């Protein structure tokens, strides 16, 4: 690590102020950022911890029925507190990392980081959730901009995520054997208005919607509806853990399993 | 009733009290007064010419004491190689210098170029980033076959990347070739034994401490064999006589072979501490250990098996390329040769065997012994080719093995590959396996898996290993530059408690528990009266350390010899005290008695007499009760076993789940069954890890792709099943006093082929024409094989 200053505000307003300093960076659960600092791959001047801000934590249900999760809420809390209202999301959170990671890592941190293999982005995109920051509301379809890039401006803080709860939905994750992030994961969400499918872990451009599957499933919500479909492997990731063709297969298999499980 | 103490008891591991409560004292826990910190500047390219190293900015940074480069080691040796192989023509292997800091060229990503010594670790890290290294990158050689076909030279002065081309036994070659010509059936298999990164839980650490007052040095280091390090570093690298050099290896958090070797960092801190006249500490980061700990395995092999029409083995022929990496690590040349070729007979009678090994330099981390070392490579190829042959010939895989076993009445059995097995009963171990693995119930389980859409497979294999390393005169002829005896000093205290100072080193094995069990059995005193001291050259006799499953078989035997000397002397004292003749004295349950009488004297009274010799035969016997013994084995020991694995394959994703694993081992006599089971469990996890998960991967430029746990998959608890292990089949070793064979490596040696055999069985039974998948049998590889 390089040296940095550390502040731990107790309100969002203070945090916003602290983030205005030069080279300030938000610290959520630190599950991504701390290892990055240890490897000296980042050198913020000030770390602004969000973990002391009560107003950014917790799970509740909004007037419109949406599930609202504070940006500083840990995966473990989501796993516990979303279980009744949105079990698919709770199960996703329960499947992230290990207990230590789940007790520190936050939804805001995960989304801001937008790791192409992370789990949450698929839930956010498949449900058409809204990301709320200290300055604005961002629709899921506008938020994810590719590998580790999002629509967030420098200094912008994710304060809340609002999920429209689907009638049926599930997340099916195939673990990468080493990291146990998603080698490929599929989130399927069925609403009265149609079905949305988001795929994580597979694409070189990060999380994406599988529109062909959405169309087929909107017409017939069953695993069999996917039978004739396939995903082109051109822009899929090829690495030590799987070829693009293998990932293309997983996209389909995991989507089928998500439908079957929902 | 199971015993509650002594040989055969499952005594609880006393060292675990300290390990499990955070009271262990590891090298990194040692902090010396005035200590400085070392951070290495390492090459980021796999191969390159060093044009210039500019240390001036770094040297001017806060806290920096000195920045070292190769020039600071002028006149010092390189770290030596401990084994010299002669090739097929009788020429010695090519042996490059391995300098402490790179001289002129860097040869792998991680090669140390310079080193900053500073007041604090943070200052050393900052300054290390400020060292400017100008390197002209050269093409790297990573692939072994390309490296010997005229790729770039790793060592220009050697003129070739072929370290040696070894034939074993060269005189067997003609007859072996002949046998292939007349064989009824020949099965051929090309395979890779995947490269592994050891990943001991504790990364390496070294602290050099030079004392001007005594002009002597202490090195604290994470080593499996402190005496070996003292000898190699003192004599060959830094020219420090042994009486001026103390090496301490305190608690060590796992080694698996990777902490046998003498590493450059050890020599660096020792020398640097004299230069800066303060202690110098280096602690390896996890990222650094991925790219500097010696890696394991990495063989590319073609094996052929010739059979007659009934499936009897006629001949075996192999050609292996073995990766040495960029330099020769301490025992690297011996691994693919004498620890591998000698095991190619397996548990079977094969009249003709010829093994060819080409050891190759590449721009990768040096490769050396890793749990099993050579024997897993031998076992894997042999047991895979047997399995393939059985399937090709339509013979049951268990039956084909039984047909070829060395029979229980055929010991000692001389193999065509130099070694002579002393004892074994392979049919009995196989019978035991069939029972504990419930082979009879397999088809029912297969049908149940099929209902879930999963393909179930059964894989079986045998293994044999040579351990209890090793007869010194024999290994000397084979090229070892060290003896491989072991030592023990048994020091009895005046009040009867005793300390064993052993040259063996425990880094997880449980010596502090098992060694006292042996002495407790011999003398009849409680185990808690006996303490084990190890790991410090200042207070243990010269010993060769722990690896090759040798501690109990060799170190334990030295301890038995020393204890026998103690008992012999104690009997003399007892005879004097009871005014009886020495020949009539019997020792039982800690009491000396005169045969045929009710006269007796306690162990404690005899010990007290030895140190308070008021009533003592001083004219004929020295006071005191302390004896040292060295034991040099007359042969290797040959643990053997039969393993079975069941897997389920998900054909949609290629994911393999290991459902069950059964291991029937013959380790000879057993001192502590619980520790033995634990050793087997750990070995199995490591072997299953190799088969299913682990792979050190380089790209074509020599960059390590699997440089962290994000990409290097270590086995976790939920990757492995609950094991069934059995070690009730026991054919005691005939040539060591304990009759023990060693159990530390068996699990890692015997398990990979069982896993892969099971996967192939599952796929073939599921209608997929797949005959081989290289390890690790990852989901994507299995899926690709199915959809290939
Ligand atoms: C061993 C391990 C296993 C893991 N497995 C998985 C897995 O299976 N699936 C998965 O999805 N993830 C996994 N993760 C990642 C984990 O979910 C992290 O928690 C997550 O990526 C980052 O969240 P964090 O709160 O720790 O953020 P931090 O590490 O603190 O920050 C990450 C980034 O987000 C920024 N940031 C943090 N909070 C906010 C905010 N509220 N608003 C704006 N920016 C913010 C930071 O500045 C930083 O750039 C794993 C991590 C580890 C260490």
**What is the per-residue pLDDT across B708-727, written as a single tens digit (0 to 9) for each?**
999 999 999 999 999 999 99
pLDDT reported for residue B788 = 81
Summarize pLDDT for A166-178 with one digit per residue, the tens. Answer: 999 999 999 999 9
Q: What is the fold of B299-392+406-470+635-786?
A: Aldehyde Oxidoreductase; domain 4 (3.30.365)
Instruction: Point out the domain boundary residue: A163, A183, A217.
Output: A163
Contacting residues of B for A183, CB less than 8 Å apart: 779
Q: What are the beta bridge partners of residue A236?
A: A203
Residue A160's beta-bridge partner residues?
A70, A132
Helix or strand or coil: residue B69? coil
Instruction: Give the C-alpha separation, B264 to B262, whole Å.
Output: 7
The whole-angstrom separation of Cα B788 and Cα B786 is 6
Q: Is A174 helix (H, G, I), strand (E, B) or coil?
A: strand
| Dist. CA B383–CA B375, nearest whole Å | 12
What residue's CA is closest to ligand 1, atom 49?
A: A113
Q: Which atom of ligand 1 is nearest to the CA of A31?
A: 26
Phi, psi of B408 (to 5 degrees): -65, -20
Whole-number average pLDDT of chain A: 97
Q: What are phi and psi of B597, to 5 degrees?
A: -125, 175
The mean pLDDT values, 10 residues at a time, for chain B of 788 residues are 90 96 97 98 98 98 98 95 96 98 98 98 97 98 95 96 97 97 98 98 98 97 97 96 97 97 98 98 97 98 98 98 98 97 98 98 98 97 98 98 98 97 98 98 98 98 95 92 95 97 95 98 97 97 94 97 98 98 96 96 98 97 98 97 98 98 98 97 98 98 97 97 98 97 97 98 97 98 95
Domain count, chain A: 2
The answer to whether residues A181 and A97 belong to one domain is no
Residue A105 near ligand 1, beta carbon < 6 Å: yes
CA of B693 to the centre of ligand 1 (A): 25
Q: Find the closest chain B residue to A177 by CA distance.
A: B713
Nearest to A120 by CA among A155, A81, A73, A156: A73
Residue nearest to atom 28 of ligand 1 (CA): A30
The pLDDT of residue A212 is 97
pLDDT of residue B278: 98
Q: Which of A183, A240, A250 is the closest to B705 by Cβ? A: A240
Q: Does B414 touch chain A (CB under 8 A)?
A: no
Q: From CA B599, how far away is CA B764, in angstroms rounded?
A: 73
Domain shared by A240 and A188, yes or no: yes
Q: Is the dihedral of CA B101, B285, B36, A3 positive or negative?
A: positive
The residue out of A143, A163, A183 marking a domain boundary is A163
Nearest CA in chain A to B129: A40
pLDDT at A97: 97
- DSSP assignment string, A42-105: ---SEEEE-TT-GGG--EEE-TTS-EEEETT-BHHHHHHHTTTT-HHHHHHHHTSS-HHHHHH-
Which of B698, B692, B675, B697 is closest to B744 using CA atoms?
Answer: B675
Domain of A228, in residue numbers? 168-261
Q: How many Cβ pairs within 8 Å bridge chains A and B? A: 49
- The Å distance, Cα A96 to ligand 1 centre, comes to 10
Strand partners for A24: A46
CA A55, CA B584: separation in Å to the nearest integer?
A: 87
Domain with CATH 3.90.1170.50 in chain B: 31-138+201-254+259-292
The answer to whether A243 contacts B784, with C-beta atoms less than 8 Å apart, is: yes
Residue B737 per-residue DSSP state? T
**CA distance to partner chain B, nearest, from residue A226 (Å):** 14
**Atom of ligand 1 minimally distant from the CA of A158:** 42
d(CA B280, CA A184): 47
Last residue of a domain, one of A163, A190, A211: A163
| Residues B126, A40: Cα–Cα separation, whole Å | 10
Is the distance from the beta carbon of residue A29 to the nearest atom of ligand 1 less than 6 Å?
A: yes
C-alpha closest to that of B100 among B112, B117, B109, B116: B112
Residues A155 and A26 in one domain: yes
Rounded to the nearest angstrom, the distance between the alpha carbon of A99 and the centre of ligand 1 is 14
Instruction: Measure the CA–CA gap between B780 and A133, rounded to whole angstroms.
Output: 39
User: Per the confidence metrics, is the pTM higher than 0.95?
Assistant: yes
Contacts of B709 in chain A (CB under 8 A): 178-179
The alpha carbon of A102 and the centre of ligand 1 are apart by a number of angstroms equal to 10
CA–CA–CA angle A247, A122, B658 (5° rounding): 50
pLDDT tens, position by position, B412-461: 999 999 999 999 999 999 999 999 999 999 999 999 999 999 999 999 99
- A70 lies in the same domain as A150: yes
Taking phi first (over 0 means left), then psi (-120 to 50 degrees means alpha), and beta for anything else, what does residue B534 get?
Answer: beta
Q: Where does CATH 3.30.365.10 sit in chain B?
A: 16-22+485-631, 299-392+406-470+635-786
CA distance B360 to B309: 38
Same domain membership, residue A189 and residue A143 = no
Nearest to B727 by CA among B685, B666, B788, B769: B666
Neighbours of A164 (CB within 10 A): 18
With cut-offs at 50, 70 and 90, classify the pLDDT of residue A125. very high
ipTM of the modeled complex? 0.96
Q: Does ligand 1 have an atom closer than 6 angstroms to the CB of A33?
A: yes
- Give the residue whose CA is nearest to atom 53 of ligand 1: A31
Q: Relative to the CA of A108, which ligand 1 atom is closest?
A: 41
Question: Going by C-beta distance under 8 Å and a sequence separation of 6 or more, which residues neighbour residue B440?
Answer: B434
Measured from the CB, is residue A181 less than 6 Å from ligand 1?
yes
If DSSP states are collapsed to H, E and C, what string results for B290-301?
HHHCCEECCEEE
- Per DSSP, B73 falls in state G
* Amino acid A1: pLDDT: 87
A41 and A133 co-located in one domain: yes
Taking the C-alpha atoms of residue B176 and residue B167, their distance in angstroms, rounded to an integer, is 12
What kind and span of H or E run contains B2?
Answer: none
Q: Tell me whether residues A40 and B129 touch, CB distance under 8 A.
A: yes
Beta strands of A90-157 (E only): which ranges?
A: 130-133, 137-139
Q: Are residues A52 and A129 in the same domain?
A: yes
Statement to judge: residues A28 and A156 lie in one domain: yes
Helices first, then strands: H and E counts in chain A: 10, 12
Does residue A254 share a domain with residue A147?
no
The CB of A255 under 6 Å from ligand 1? The reply is no
Say if residues B253 and B202 touch (Cβ distance below 8 Å).
Answer: yes
The atom number, within ligand 1, closest to the CA of A42 reads: 49
Same domain, A157 and A197: no
User: Which pLDDT score is estimated for A229?
Assistant: 96
Tracing tokens 């050579």 back to the chain, one arrives at B374
Confidence of residue A61 (pLDDT cuts 50, 70, 90): very high
Q: Do B778 and A253 touch (CB under 8 A)?
A: no
Is B62 near chain A, with CB under 8 Å?
A: no
Pick the atom of ligand 1 nearest to A36's CA. Answer: 29
Query: pLDDT (tens digit, 9 = 90+) per residue, A68-117?
Result: 999 999 999 999 999 999 999 999 999 999 999 999 999 999 999 999 99
At A243, list the tokens: 């070829």
| Cβ contact B711–A253 (<8 Å) | no
Give B183-225 as a 3 state SS string. CCEEEEEEEEECCECCCCCCCCEEEEEEECCCCEEEEEECCCC
Please name the member of B654, B692, B711 whose beta carbon is closest to the beta carbon of A240: B711
Residue B248 alpha carbon to ligand 1 centre in Å: 41
Whether A99 contacts chain B with CB within 8 A:
no
A46-49/B626-631 β-pairing: unpaired
Q: Compute how many other C-beta atoms are within 10 angstroms of the C-beta atom of residue B323.
A: 27
Q: Is the Cβ pair A178, B783 closer than 8 Å?
A: no
Cα separation of A202 and A221, whole Å? 23
- Cβ of A30 closer than 6 Å to ligand 1, yes or no, is yes
Answer whether A106 contacts ligand 1 (Cβ < 6 A).
yes
User: In chain A, which residue's Cα lies nearest the Cα of B707?
Assistant: A178
The sign one gets for the Cα dihedral B139, B140, B144, B148 is positive
Q: What angle do CA B312, B377, B675 make, to 5 degrees?
A: 105
Q: Strands A46-49 and A24-27: what pairing?
A: parallel
Q: What is the pLDDT of residue B150?
A: 86
Q: Which CATH architecture has domain B31-138+201-254+259-292?
A: Alpha-Beta Complex (3.90)
Note whether A22 and A39 are same-domain residues: yes
| CATH architecture assigned to B16-22+485-631 | 2-Layer Sandwich (3.30)
Provide the pLDDT for residue B479.
Answer: 93
Beta strands at B299-307 and B185-193: parallel, antiparallel or unpaired:
antiparallel
Residues 6+ apart with CB under 8 A from B431: none
Residue A176: strand, helix, or coil: coil
Q: Which residues pair with B462 in a beta bridge?
A: B642
Partners of A253 on chain B (C-beta within 8 Å) are: 652-653
Alpha-carbon span B639 to B727, nearest angstrom? 11
In this complex, do A178 and B693 lie within 8 Å of one another by their Cβ atoms? yes
Residues A178, A108: one domain? Answer: no
């Amino acid at each position: 690590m390089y040296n940095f200053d550390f502040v731990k505000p107790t309100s969002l307003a203070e945090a916003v102020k602290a983030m205005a300093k030069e080279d300030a960076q938000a610290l959520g659960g630190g599950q991504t950022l701390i290892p990055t600092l240890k490897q000296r791959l980042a050198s913020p001047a000030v770390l602004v911890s969000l973990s002391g801000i009560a107003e950014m934590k917790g799970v509740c249900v909004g007037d419109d029925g949406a599930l609202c999760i504070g940006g500083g809420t840990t995966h473990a809390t989501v796993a516990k507190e979303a279980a009744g209202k949105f079990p698919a999301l709770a199960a996703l959170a329960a499947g992230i990392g290990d207990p230590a990671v789940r007790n520190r890592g936050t939804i805001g941190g995960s989304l801001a980081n937008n790791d192409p293999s992370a789990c949450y982005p698929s839930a956010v995109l498949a449900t058409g959730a809204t990301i709320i920051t200290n300055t604005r509301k961002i629709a899921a379809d506008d938020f994810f901009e590719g590998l580790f890039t999002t629509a967030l401006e420098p200094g912008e803080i994710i304060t809340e995520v609002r999920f429209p709860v689907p009638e049926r939905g599930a997340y099916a994750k195939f673990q990468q054997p080493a990291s146990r992030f998603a080698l490929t994961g599929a989130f399927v969400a069925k609403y009265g208005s149609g079905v949305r499918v988001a795929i994580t872990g597979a694409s070189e451009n990060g999380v994406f919607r599988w529109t062909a599957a959405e169309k087929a499933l909107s017409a017939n919500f069953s695993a069999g509806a996917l039978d004739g479909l396939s995903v082109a492997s051109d822009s899929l990731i090829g690495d030590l853990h799987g070829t693009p063709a293998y990932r293309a297969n997983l996209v389909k298999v995991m989507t089928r399993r998500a439908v079957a499980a929902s | 009733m199971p015993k509650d103490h002594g040989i055969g008891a499952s005594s609880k591991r006393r060292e675990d009290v300290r390990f499990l409560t955070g009271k262990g004292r590891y090298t990194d826990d040692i902090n010396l007064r005035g200590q400085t910190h070392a951070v290495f500047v390492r090459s980021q390219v796999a191969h390159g010419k060093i044009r210039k190293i500019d240390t001036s900015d770094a040297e001017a940074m806060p806290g920096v004491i000195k920045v070292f480069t190769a020039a600071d080691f002028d006149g010092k040796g390189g770290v030596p190689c401990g084994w010299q192989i002669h090739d097929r023509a009788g020429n010695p292997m090519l042996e490059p210098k391995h300098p402490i800091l790179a001289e002129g060229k860097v040869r792998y990503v991680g090669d140390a170029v310079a080193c900053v010594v500073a007041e604090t670790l943070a200052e050393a890290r900052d300054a290390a980033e400020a060292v400017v290294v100008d390197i002209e990158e050269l093409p790297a050689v990573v692939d072994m076959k390309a490296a010997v076909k005229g790729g770039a030279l790793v060592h220009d002065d050697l003129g070739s990347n072929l370290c040696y081309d070894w034939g074993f036994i060269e005189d067997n070659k003609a007859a072996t070739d002949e046998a292939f010509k007349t064989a009824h059936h020949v099965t051929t298999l090309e395979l890779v034994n995947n490269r592994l990164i050891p990943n001991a839980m504790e990364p390496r650490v070294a602290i050099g401490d030079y004392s001007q007052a005594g002009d002597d040095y202490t090195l604290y280091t994470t080593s499996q064999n402190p005496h070996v390090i003292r000898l190699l570093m003192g004599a060959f690298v830094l020219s420090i006589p042994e009486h001026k050099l103390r090496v301490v290896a305190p608690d060590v958090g796992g080694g698996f072979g990777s902490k046998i070797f003498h590493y450059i960092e050890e020599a660096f801190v020792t020398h640097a501490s004299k230069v800066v006249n303060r202690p110098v500490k280096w602690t390896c980061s996890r990222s650094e250990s991925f790219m500097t700990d010696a890696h394991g395995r990495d063989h590319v092999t073609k094996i052929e098996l010739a059979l007659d029409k009934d499936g009897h083995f006629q001949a075996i022929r192999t050609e292996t390329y073995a990766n040495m990496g960029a330099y020769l690590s301490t025992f690297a040349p011996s691994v693919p040769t004498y620890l591998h070729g000698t095991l190619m007979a397996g548990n079977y009678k094969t009249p003709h065997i010829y093994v060819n090994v080409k050891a190759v330099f590449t721009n990768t981390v040096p490769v050396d012994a890793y749990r099993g070392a050579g024997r897993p490579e031998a076992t894997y190829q042999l047991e895979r080719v047997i399995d393939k042959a059985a399937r090709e010939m339509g013979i049951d895989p268990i039956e084909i093995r039984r047909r070829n076993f060395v029979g229980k009445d055929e010991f000692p059995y001389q193999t065509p590959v130099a070694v002579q097995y002393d004892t074994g009963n392979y049919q009995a171990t196989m019978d035991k396996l069939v029972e504990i693995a419930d082979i009879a119930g397999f088809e029912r389980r297969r049908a149940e898996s099929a209902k879930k859409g999963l393909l179930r497979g059964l894989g079986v294999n045998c293994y044999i290993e040579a351990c209890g390393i090793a007869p010194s005169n024999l290994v000397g002829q084979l090229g070892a530059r060290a003896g491989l005896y072991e030592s023990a000093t048994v020091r009895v205290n005046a009040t009867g408690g005793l300390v064993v100072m052993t040259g063996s080193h425990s880094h997880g094995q449980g010596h502090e528990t098992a060694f006292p069990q042996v002495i407790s059995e011999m003398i009849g005193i409680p185990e808690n009266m006996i303490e084990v001291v190890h790991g410090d050259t200042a207070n243990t006799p010269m010993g060769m350390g722990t690896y090759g499953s040798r501690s109990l078989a060799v170190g334990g035997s030295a301890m038995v010899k020393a204890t026998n000397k103690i008992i012999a002397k104690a009997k003399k004292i007892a005879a004097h005290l009871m005014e009886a003749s020495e020949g009539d004295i019997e020792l039982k349950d800690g009491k000396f008695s005169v045969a045929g009488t009710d006269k007796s004297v306690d162990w404690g009274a005899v010990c007290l007499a030895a140190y308070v010799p008021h009533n003592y035969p001083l004219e004929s016997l020295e006071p005191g009760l302390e004896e040292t013994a060295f034991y040099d084995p007359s042969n290797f020991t040959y643990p053997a076993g039969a393993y079975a694995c069941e897997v389920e394959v998900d054909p949609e994703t290629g994911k393999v789940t290991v459902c069950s694993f059964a291991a029937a081992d013959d380790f000879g006599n057993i001192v502590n069954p619980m520790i033995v089971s634990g050793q087997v469990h750990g070995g199995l996890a490591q072997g299953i890890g190799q088969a299913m998960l682990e792979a050190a991967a380089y790209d074509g430029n020599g960059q390590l792709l699997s440089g962290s746990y994000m990409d290097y998959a270590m086995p976790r608890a939920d990757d492995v099943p609950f094991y069934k292990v059995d070690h009730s089949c026991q054919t005691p070793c005939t040539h060591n006093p304990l009759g023990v064979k060693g159990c530390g490596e068996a699990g890692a040696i015997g398990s990979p082929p069982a896993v892969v055999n099971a996967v192939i069985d599952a796929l073939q039974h599921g209608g997929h024409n797949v005959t081989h998948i290289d390890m690790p049998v990852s989901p994507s590889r299995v899926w690709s094989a199915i959809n290939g």
